[in-house]
Amino acid sequence: MQRVTLLEKVYGPISFRTLEPNLSSLCKGLKVSLKVVGETNRGWVQIEVSGDDENAALHYIDQKVGLAPASIKDLERFSVVRGKVFSSGKSRNELYVDIGISSPRVCDAAVPLQSLQAQLADGKKLPLQQIIRLFCLYDHLPLEVKIVDLEDAQKERVVTMLSEAQLSQITRWIRSSVDRLIVLGALSSHVERAIKASKHSRDIIKVERLGLLEQAIVCKVGTEAVGLIPKLGRRIPKATFATFCPRRIKRIVDRSFS
C-alpha cells in the first residue's frame, strides 16, 4: 500500500467521496484498490493505492492527474512542475502557484510580473491584476511552470516562469479565436448537465477538462462566453466563472500570436 498526495484540491461544494469514483475510474482494468484518505493542510487530496498493479496505477495517475513532489529536495532547476494558482488577488508583483510541497516546509512557485509581461503581453507593462483577468489566472486554475531559480527555496518560494507547454496552450486558445468559459469548482459531469439543462448545447463545441474540478467550455464562433454565465451560474451556484476572450486579449496586447 502506498499513500501519495495528488495535485488536486477539493474545494467549494465538492466532497472527497465525490472524487473517489472519478479517481477510481482512472485505474479501470488494473488490480488495485484506491481510497481517498484525507488532505494536506493546503487542501491537496491524499489517496492510498494498494494491489498487484499499484505501481502501474500510480504512474498512470501521475500522468493524468499529477503527484505532488515529496520534498523541496526533489526540485531541480529548469524542471517543469504543475500546481494551482492561489492568492491571485493579493499581490502586485508575483503570481503564486501552489505546487504541493510541504516538506520540510511549504514551498510555493512564484512567477514574477516581468516574466508574465514578457511571455503573455509581448513585454507590455500591464499590471498583474489585468494579466490575471485577461488570461483567467484565478485561484485553483491548474498551471504548469518551469523552475528558473532555486536560491530562495529556503525562503519558501522558487522563482519560475510559464512552461513551454503552458504557453503553447494559452497561445492555441488565442489562435482559435473562440471564447472559453472557465469553470472552477465543478466536475465535468456537473458542467455537462448544466449545459444540457440550460439548452445551450448548440452554442458550445465541447468541455475541456483542465483538472478534476476545473473545466473550460469552448464556445462556438459568435457565442460570447460572458452570456453563458447567468444561465449556467444558477445551475452551478458555487462555482467560479471567468471568461477567456481572444478578441479582448489581442486588442489589449496588440500582437498576432501567430
Which residue spans within the chain are E strands per DSSP? 2-9, 33-39, 44-50, 80-86, 94-101, 107-112, 142-149, 157-162, 180-184, 204-211, 214-219, 240-244
Burial of 169 (C-beta count, 10 Å sphere; 0-12/13-18/19+): middle
Whole-number pLDDT of residue 155: 67
By DSSP bridging, strand 157-162 and strand 107-112 are parallel
Whole-number pLDDT of residue 134: 97
* Local structure of 108: helix, strand or coil: strand
Provide the residue-wise pLDDT of the chain in tens; the chain has 258 residues: 889 999 998 888 777 777 788 788 888 888 988 888 888 888 899 999 999 998 999 998 998 888 988 788 888 999 999 999 999 988 889 999 999 988 778 889 999 999 999 999 999 999 999 999 999 999 999 999 999 988 766 668 899 999 999 999 999 999 999 999 999 999 999 999 999 999 999 999 999 999 989 999 999 999 999 999 999 999 999 999 999 999 999 999 987 776
Within its chain, how far is the Cα of 161 from the centroid?
Answer: 15
Give 154-193 pLDDT, tens digit per residue: 668 899 999 999 999 999 999 999 999 999 999 999 999 9
Q: Cell 514551498 belongs to which residue?
A: 107
Instruction: Provide the CATH topology of domain 72-170.
Output: OB fold (Dihydrolipoamide Acetyltransferase, E2P) (2.40.50)
Whole-number pLDDT of residue 165: 97
pTM: 0.91
Whole-number pLDDT of residue 153: 60
Enter the C-alpha cell of residue 161.
516562469
Q: Where are the domains of the chain?
A: 2-64, 72-170, 177-253
By DSSP bridging, strand 157-162 and strand 214-219 are unpaired
Residue 67 carries which DSSP code? B
Question: Which distant-in-sequence residues (6+ apart) come within 8 Å of 237 by Cβ?
Answer: none
* Secondary structure string (H, E, C) spanning 84-99: EEECCCCCCCEEEEEE
Compute the distance between CA of residue 142 and CA of residue 76 in angstroms, rounded to an integer. 20
Residue 47 carries which DSSP code? E
Whole-number pLDDT of residue 154: 64
CATH class of segment(s) 177-253: alpha beta
Amino acid occupying residue 192: E
